[in-house]
Amino acid sequence: MSGHGEPIPMTARRSGPLKGRAEVPGDKSISHRALILGALAVGETKVTGLLEGQDVLDTAAAMRAFGAEVVRHGAGRWSVRGVGVGGFAEPAEVIDCGNSGTGVRLIMGCMATSPITATFTGDASLRKRPMGRVTDPLALFGARAYGRQGGRLPMTLVGAADPVPVRYAVPMPSAQVKSAVLLAGLNAPGQTVVIEKEPTRDHSERMLRGFGAEVAVEDGREGRVITLTGRPELRPQVVAVPRDPSSAAFPVCAALIVEGSDVLVPGVSQNPTRNGLYTTLVEMGADIEFLNPREEGGEPVADLRVRFSSLKGIRVPKERAASMIDEFPVLSVVAACAEGATVMRGVKELRVKESDRIDAMARGLEACGVRVEEDEDTLIVHGMGAGGVPGGATARTHIDHRIAMSFLVLGLAAKKPVSVDDGSPIATSFPVFEDLMRGLGAQVGRDEPRP
Ligand code: S3P
């Protein structure tokens, strides 16, 4: 929902060792896709472990507006009775995707090749984000978009009555754009081809196949070439959503920087398109054991045992950026607690996330006494060693859940407390963050209202 509500100021204080088990919620990317593909299948899809964060709840409401029956049966247990590919009804209301770029872009994709019109909006963060990156390829199918300047929401999308299949090379590393094109291709005749230079998260490809679509993936000279055959009948599935590696990053990174910590984070995805942070942390000297490797909900997962570590800064290879794109904010916090500089290049996509994450992290880290360098595509954090960050500042979160959680993690290891001006966006992706972190022994909480 676009009403952002009252800000919730929060503070984290230097904490004793974090101990215990951190069961993080379901994966956000897979949760959105389970609802959307369920709505496009004929019959009843059953989902367990669904993330009940606001982003996903907004996608559930949107699927109802397009005619699917979406029902909550209990914690994380949902069902979706779909209308079939091409069966979307025209929504009577504006579709409000709240804070979620993934929600709005994927939903625009899956309605773009139906003869219906829908208007989309979101919160103040989402209304600043570029939609041209999806409406450009959707126009090739025959859809028309009418938005605000710079391709911003609110925006009306008129779906193509007579869609044609498309061949599209995605100009930036973006799973959202790739997925929007594939979802649009579902209701186009013939074969839709998407080419990506660098691999991005592949949940859409995996799940489309799981729902019965024909999806071929080849690694060619141009990059990954994904070919989808249009107009399949999608079959309903039982989807067990694995835990979110991007949420797991917060207790993992907190355990690494809080002295004496020893935390188990079970069921963390080791999907190679998502696990760049974990590779990076190990290179920095992190003590992480990858226990009990197995498959859950079609994803490779492991239980991570994480102990406090003295870390050193590294140069993160550019080509790894896409596999850890959501983890750079918390990595920059870990980098501040390492010895030496951590160099993150090829990260300009961070500027168009829920906030400009390079700017938000740089300003907040500087306020906490950390030296930072940045340019359009780079963030360099000069580490101050374990326990060395002064802290004692309030970071602005710019309606961005990952900025809020990152600075709260920093506060657990900094000399003086670290506050955030608004922790309310945490509910979009990790509604149990505060309780889960406190359960490990973290001193984090909401500030007392000022009289
Ligand atoms: C997502 C893709 C990524 C990521 C976002 C989730 C997805 O966005 O940042 O949190 O589920 O497809 P981009 O595709 O814009 O990189």
Residues 307 and 385 in one domain: yes
Residues 74 and 22 in one domain: no
Q: CA–CA separation, 421 vs 397, rounded Å?
A: 7
Structure tokens of 68? 């699917």
Residues 222 and 276 in one domain: no
CATH number of the domain that residue 272 is part of: 3.65.10.10
Q: Of all atoms in ligand 1, which is nearest to the CA of residue 33?
A: 11
Residues 16 and 38 in one domain: no
Closest C-alpha among 369, 321, 310, 327 to residue 344: 321
Per-residue pLDDT reduced to its tens digit, 125-171? 999 999 999 999 999 999 999 999 999 999 999 999 999 999 999 99
User: Would the pLDDT of 78 be above 70?
Assistant: yes
Residues 18 and 127 in one domain: no
Whether 37 is covered by a domain: the verdict is: yes
Q: CA–CA separation, 124 vs 104, rounded Å?
A: 14
Closest C-alpha among 228, 225, 206 to residue 272: 206
Residues 164 and 140 in one domain: yes
Residues 268 and 201 in one domain: no
pTM (two decimals)? 0.98
Output the residue whose Cα is nearest ligand 1's atom 15.
174
* Per-residue pLDDT band at 299 (split at 50, 70, 90): confident
Residues 16 and 60 in one domain: no
Please count the structural domains in the chain.
2
Whether 360 is covered by a domain: the verdict is: yes
Whether 171 is covered by a domain: the verdict is: yes
Active site residue 326: yes
Q: What is the mean pLDDT of residues 380-388?
A: 98
Domain that holds residue 295: 10-26+243-446
Residues 180 and 276 in one domain: no
Whether 66 is covered by a domain: the verdict is: yes
Supply the DSSP symbol for 44: E
Supply the DSSP symbol for 236: P
Q: How far is the CA of 418 from the centre of ligand 1 (A)?
A: 28
Tell me which of 28, 29, 36 to substitute to probe ligand 1's pocket, judged by most ligand atoms within 8 Å of the beta carbon.
29
Per-residue pLDDT reduced to its tens digit, 21-63? 999 999 999 999 999 999 999 999 999 999 999 999 999 999 9
Q: How far is the CA of 102 from the centre of ligand 1 (A)?
A: 6
Q: How far is the CA of 15 from the centre of ligand 1 (A)?
A: 32
User: Would the pLDDT of 1 be above 80?
Assistant: no
End-to-end CA distance of the chain: 29
- Measured from CB, residues less than 6 Å from any atom of ligand 1 are 29, 102, 174-176, 179, 201, 325-326, 349
Q: Of all atoms in ligand 1, which is nearest to the CA of residue 246?
A: 10
Per-residue pLDDT reduced to its tens digit, 313-323? 999 999 999 99
Residues 206 and 250 in one domain: no
Residues 182 and 315 in one domain: no
Q: How far is CA 93 from CA 62, 110, 315, in A?
A: 10, 17, 48
Whether 185 is covered by a domain: the verdict is: yes
Single out the catalytic residue among 27, 326, 400, 422: 326
Whether 451 is covered by a domain: the verdict is: no
Residues 21 and 33 in one domain: no
Query: Angle at CA 439, nearest 5°, toward 447 and 4?
Result: 40
Q: Is 158 exposed, middle or buried (0-12, 13-18, 19+ CB in 10 A)?
A: middle
Structure tokens of 130? 């570029």
